[in-house]
Chain A
Amino acid sequence: ETGVTQSPTHLIKTRGQQVTLRCSSQSGHNTVSWYQQALGQGPQFIFQYYREEENGRGNFPPRFSGLQFPNYSSELNVNALELDDSALYLCASSLGNPGEGTEAFFGQGTRLTVV
């Protein structure tokens, strides 16, 4: 039990639609990162938020966007869904400042299927 919860656990969307995935972190965890994990692959870094500001982004297009809220929750939004967006989306939160070498606690993920 990591104390990080994601919702929904599973989701089916149609190509071209928009989706919002949610993550609730442990209290005090100022840093949250989002990852996309395709089947059989390692998690790929999408972006990171620290104290409600984006603090770095991976190689994902602008249609992937996020928000972090003062209550330690966050969102990942994906517009204009494509079939290749089908994957497990993981959020990971950590206590402390980015780059301090603190452990990240992962949520159980949201399995997104785009048809």
Chain B
Amino acid sequence: QQPVQSPQAVILREGEDAVINCSSSKALYSVHWYRQKHGEAPVFLMILLKGGEQKGHDKISASFNEKKQQSSLYLTASQLSYSGTYFCGTEANNQGGKLIFGQGTELSVKP
């Protein structure tokens, strides 16, 4: 089942912060976050694993609440380059790396 992302869209001014949420009804092993710009491939941002391990870029932060099967991506001091569509991909327990993606959150950062 597809995870639910919120909000669907957000507009920021440069320097403002944003939080994007991802919620699943399944017990998760990991949550993956990607950013996709129009016409380009999704770019890896972060993986959060059951048990607390995280892998990703230093300037990106995220959390994973295993009890609630929810993850949040925190974008602080936003830059124009942060614009794009953010997707969470969830991997359920025993699903061997198969990611189910949410519908995306469109982020626009204005000068």
Q: Write the residues of chain A forming the contact surface with B, with a CB cutoff of 8 angstroms.
A: 2, 4, 31, 33, 35, 40-45, 48, 50, 55-56, 58, 90, 92, 94, 97-109
Report how many A-B pairs have Cβ atoms within 8 Å: 78
Interface footprint category on B: 20 to 34
Q: Please determine whether B96 and A45 come into contact, CB atoms closer than 8 angstroms.
A: no
Q: Please determine whether B2 and A42 come into contact, CB atoms closer than 8 angstroms.
A: yes
Residue from B49, B87, B97 within 8 A of A31 (CB atoms): B97
Q: Please determine whether A42 and B97 come into contact, CB atoms closer than 8 angstroms.
A: no
Chain B neighbourhood of A105, CB < 8 A: 44
Chain A neighbourhood of B87, CB < 8 A: 42-43
Q: Please determine whether B55 and A103 come into contact, CB atoms closer than 8 angstroms.
A: yes
Q: Please determine whether A108 and B98 come into contact, CB atoms closer than 8 angstroms.
A: no
Chain A neighbourhood of B47, CB < 8 A: 101-103
Per the bound structure, the CA–CA distance linking A108 and B42 in Å amounts to 8
Q: Please determine whether B55 and A90 come into contact, CB atoms closer than 8 angstroms.
A: no
Chain B neighbourhood of A98, CB < 8 A: 96-98
Chain A neighbourhood of B95, CB < 8 A: 56, 99
Q: Which of these binds chain A: B12-20, B70-78, B101-109?
A: B101-109
